[in-house]
Amino acid sequence: MVQYRKETREEASFRDKLTTIDDKGKRVWVYAKKPRGRLTRFRILVAIFLLALFFTGPFLKINGEPLLLLNFMERKFVVLGVQFWPQDFHLFFLAMISMMVFIILFTVVYGRVFCGWACPQTIFMEMIYRRIEWLIEGNPRQQKQLSQQPWSAVRIMKKILKHGIFYLIAFVICNFFLSYIIGIEQLKEIVTDAPRDHLAGLAGMIVFSGVFYFVFAFLREQVCAMVCPYGRLQGVLLDRNSIVVAYDHKRGEPKGTYFKGENRKAAEKGDCINCTQCVQVCPTGIDIRNGTQLECIHCTACIDACYSMMKAVNQPTGLIRYASERSIAEGSSVKFNMRAIAYSAVLAVLLGVIVYAMVARKAVEVTVLRAPGTLYQEQPDNRISNLYHIKLINKTSTDLPVTLQLLSGSGEIKVIGDKLLAKARAVSEGVFFIYLDRSQVPGDKTPVELGIYSGDQ
């Protein structure tokens, strides 16, 4: 029987309010310490990769198409160089459903990994904005002092510098976001044109950048705790088997100050030396030793902080680590139980379905219908003709000349007007006649087989 830790009413009282809001409802500002360690280094590498992808993405092309384009105004969508049309809505729908199930299953098994490692809010905040803040205003103690001192020339200068850079970065990031919506070519045009030609757009961009700046300069961790719906869902997504950033209370408790050379067991102290380093580095201001909390974004800063403290006092590392509540209660390592394996299998299948649906998607779609309101025609050379309307949707970036062939019976096809051409990224239309010998039209309905070719395809 696994014994889970039961919080007393008093111990659980921290859950009654957010750590960053005081009893009077005022904001408690978080001055987070710079984390250092192995996981932080990994996170920096991942962040560099993702930021590089974000900033180079608009310039990258696959088969002449952008990597990602979500132009809602013109209803043009490109993902990994593949163009999606409103006709592909079923794929979009499938991808959305799969993505939602994916997120739920992923979180149930692996916790909030996405928030700590790949969420744009965390990456921009922890890897760009907070680092600039450390650079200009110094460590948390110096930051606090600066905010509490009267408005001196130094304080004004530092604040103007910091907020100026913050806004500039917000403006640049917003422009890059815009390039994913309207395309980099159009953005280049707007940027190089005289501002008076795009006053409305420029005003929108300034306001949008202001919102972005406000989020990173002031709102910060409140986004993760109060605004983000994914964060709010953690309470129903996580369970005792989910892998989370967790404090090993069995090993750590009871906390006790460290004295060199002491026998902690004899002193009835756990491994936690109560140094509060894990709290000081936390960007959301929580104490992970209280247990899994809504505010925890799994940034792993506390894991690194505790790791170095354990090393410093010659204790086994991993007092805070990736673990499930069950594994900590059992004193075992994280096990992949049947549920985790089954969920992972479903995740793999879902990914497969999305990839298959995208790969198997047709690049050209054709619809042929009888021209409305027309009857068949009797030709003088003893032939019967019918008028048809053809609609070609070409999702590729090249024009495709199209030819029609009658594959059944002996007859003839005559295209009216110009030759058929499926224009790149467009819907093209045409009209054609099919002529059949009267002897081949025995009744009201005669099936014919039509070949629609571009080159030999």
The reply on whether position 91 binds ligand SF4 by CB under 6 A is no
State the burial class of residue 13 (Cβ atoms within 10 Å of its Cβ: 0-12, 13-18, 19+): exposed
Q: How far apart are CA 431 and CA 370, in angstroms?
A: 10
* CA 280 remoteness from chain centre: 28
CB of 253 or CB of 399, closer to ligand SF4: 253
Q: What is the nearest approach in angstroms of ligand SF4 to the Cβ of residue 136?
A: 23
DSSP notation for 312-340: HTT--S-SEEEE-HHHHHHT------HHH
User: Which region, judged by CB under 6 A, interacts with ligand SF4, from 37-45, 128-136, 153-161, 268-276?
Assistant: 268-276
Among 87, 175, 241, 274, binds ligand SF4 (CB under 6 A): 274
Task: Tell me the three state secondary structure of residue 155.
Answer: helix
Q: What is the nearest approach in angstroms of ligand SF4 to the Cβ of residue 10?
A: 19
CB of 50 or CB of 161, closer to ligand SF4: 50
294, 115 Cβ separation under 8 angstroms: no
CB of 283 or CB of 411, closer to ligand SF4: 283
Among 39, 47, 113, 273, binds ligand SF4 (CB under 6 A): 273
The reply on whether position 277 binds ligand SF4 by CB under 6 A is yes
Q: What is the nearest approach in angstroms of ligand SF4 to the Cβ of residue 124?
A: 16
Sign of the dihedral defined by the CA atoms of residues 326, 290, 15, 39, in that order:
negative
Looking at this protein, which amino acid is placed at residue 77? F
Write the binding mask 361 to 400 for ligand SF4: x where contact by CB under 6 A, - elsewhere.
Answer: ----------------------------------------
Residues from 34 through 63 that contact ligand SF4 (CB under 6 A): none
CB of 184 or CB of 302, closer to ligand SF4: 302
First CA to last CA distance, the chain:
66
Q: What are the percentages of helix, strand and coil residues in the chain, rounded to 5?
A: 50, 15, 35
CB of 201 or CB of 318, closer to ligand SF4: 318
Q: How far apart are CA 457 and CA 454, in angstroms?
A: 5
Residues from 219 through 248 that contact ligand SF4 (CB under 6 A): 245, 247
Among 69, 275, 347, 390, binds ligand SF4 (CB under 6 A): 275
Residues with Cβ within 8 Å of residue 406, at least 6 apart in sequence: 412, 413, 434, 448, 449, 450, 451
**To which H or E segment does residue 294 belong?**
none
Q: What is the nearest approach in angstroms of ligand SF4 to the Cβ of residue 168?
A: 28
Residues from 282 through 341 that contact ligand SF4 (CB under 6 A): 282-284, 286, 288-289, 296-302, 305-306, 309, 319-320
| Residues contacting ligand SF4: total by CB under 6 A | 29
* CA 337 remoteness from chain centre: 28
- Residues forming contacts to ligand SF4 in the complex (CB under 6 A) are 245, 247, 252, 272-278, 281-284, 286, 288-289, 296-302, 305-306, 309, 319-320
